[in-house]
Amino acid sequence: SNNNVVNFFGLSSLDRFSHKRTDVQWLKEKLHHPSTTFVLFSQSSPYITWSDEGKCQVCRFHYEQIKFLFEKPEKEEPVTIFLGIGDVVASKTKKTSTHNPTSRSFDSSLDQPAWFAVDAGDVPLEHLQEAQPNAELLSPRNYLALMSVADEEAGVIGQARALLSWHDRYKFCPTCGSQMHIQEAGYKHTCQNKECRSLKGIHNTSYPRVDPVAIMAVIHPDGNQLLLGRKKQFPRGMYSCLAGFMEPGESIEDACRREVYEESAIKVGHVTYHSSQPWPMPSQLMIGCFGYAVSTAITVDTEELEDVRWFERRDVAAALQGGGPGTGEVGSQSSALFLPPRQAIAHQLIKAWVGMTANL
């Protein structure tokens, strides 16, 4: 019944079941229930195994296997997030988000498996390998490694990573500097200082951050060229869409225009929305748009980018067919253009543009 674009990290088959976040008794039952699945993280990275075919699988633990993590004084209990209820089937058959929330009125919920994420901190790997001999921590130094997880698991892993990273960096009250105290199954934290102003009324200091970022495929006035840029740190030959953090007090459309102008001096007129993507690095919301350029002369903001260029449609199309760096010379002037992988919304925006008719 819907044909919305679903991007990587945006597909989750869990129902977040948020009305249970305050039901301490229910949460406790679920925590100990044998049908409950735990995904474990250290340094904001999940524990995974690699299958024989080289596929990454997130380790799923049961309470009995990890209860030693909870057998600590209350203050040292690991940060634990209730992710939701349902099944996460990592198969290749399910491709689109079929959001089928469970009925609230009747408590079939106790039959549905619950999911929790736990920050295992500096637990020795051997302790986890007693339950899962091949468990390893997905490279915590390289966050791009997260794109290795299966599409069907990516949403849950992204949700977990964003919330665990938030607790990791937001331990003190920004209003008074006191320590925070975690509530609502990981979705809220409140100041422990009874006198704090943040306890009067509702303040965003208590809630997880979600940082909106505008990302845009900017189309040349001739309809046949796309504006792409590269950071110095990108692999050789890689270009991607321009993007930037939204600022307070602007619309999505104006954020697109501002960032494109700042980074390339190109002026954008009309902007259309394409799709969005949660990006758990640590908690961005990528808002993917098309921008219609009304000027063509580029001035690169060399503070942020190494190069920005117009690319011909045929070269972009060839790069979409091509692979990563070093997979051959595609593109004109023997400069081997390559694009971000399919998991990045930039790739999907570029692909959608290539599929559009020219000179619309």
Q: Of the candidates 10, 72, 4, which has an alpha carbon nearest to the alpha carbon of residue 352?
A: 4
According to the 3-state scheme, what is the secondary structure of 145-200? Answer: HHHHECHHHHHHHHHHHHHHHHHHHCCECCCCCCEEEEEHHHCEEEECCCCCHHHC
Stretch that binds ligand AMP, among 42-50, 130-138, 204-212, 268-276 (CB under 6 A): 204-212
Report the DSSP pairing between strands 37-42 and 114-119: parallel
User: How many chain residues bind Zn ion (CB under 5 A)?
Assistant: 8
Residues 6+ apart with CB under 8 A from 219: 225, 226, 227, 290, 291, 292, 293, 353
Position among 269, 323, 324, 325 found at the interface with a copy of itself (CB under 8 A)? 269
- Judged by CB under 6 A, the residue of 64, 211, 222, 306 near ligand AMP is 211
Q: Build a one-symbol-per-residue string for 193-222: x at contacts with Zn ion by CB under 5 A, - elsewhere.
A: x--x-x------------------------
Helix spans in the chain (H):
24-32, 63-66, 125-129, 151-169, 252-264, 313-321, 345-355
Q: Which of 57, 182, 244, 317 binds Mg ion (CB under 5 A)?
A: 244
Answer for which of 181, 207, 356, 358 binds ligand AMP (CB under 6 A) is 207
Residue 282, interface with a copy of itself (CB under 8 A)? yes
Of the pair 176, 305, the CB lying nearest ligand AMP is at 305
Q: Restricting to residues 63-102, which ones interact with ligand AMP according to CB under 6 A? A: none
Q: Which two tokens stand for residue 196?
A: 């704090």
90: tokens are 């990592």
Which of ligand AMP, a copy of itself, Zn ion, none lies near 339, with the C-beta cut-off 5 to 8 A by kind?
none
Q: Which stretch binds a copy of itself (CB under 8 A): 24-32, 40-48, 65-73, 293-301?
A: 293-301
Question: CB 169 → a copy of itself: shortest distance, Å?
Answer: 5
Question: Is 257 a binder of a copy of itself (CB under 8 A)?
Answer: yes
Residues 212-241 that bind a copy of itself (CB under 8 A): 212
Which helix or strand (DSSP H or E) is residue 277 part of?
Answer: strand 268-279
Residue that the structure tokens 């253009």 belong to = 337
φ, ψ for residue 227, nearest 5 deg? -90, 120
Give the binding site for Mg ion (CB under 5 A): 243-245, 259
Give the binding site for ligand AMP (CB under 6 A): 202, 204, 207, 211, 243-245, 259, 304
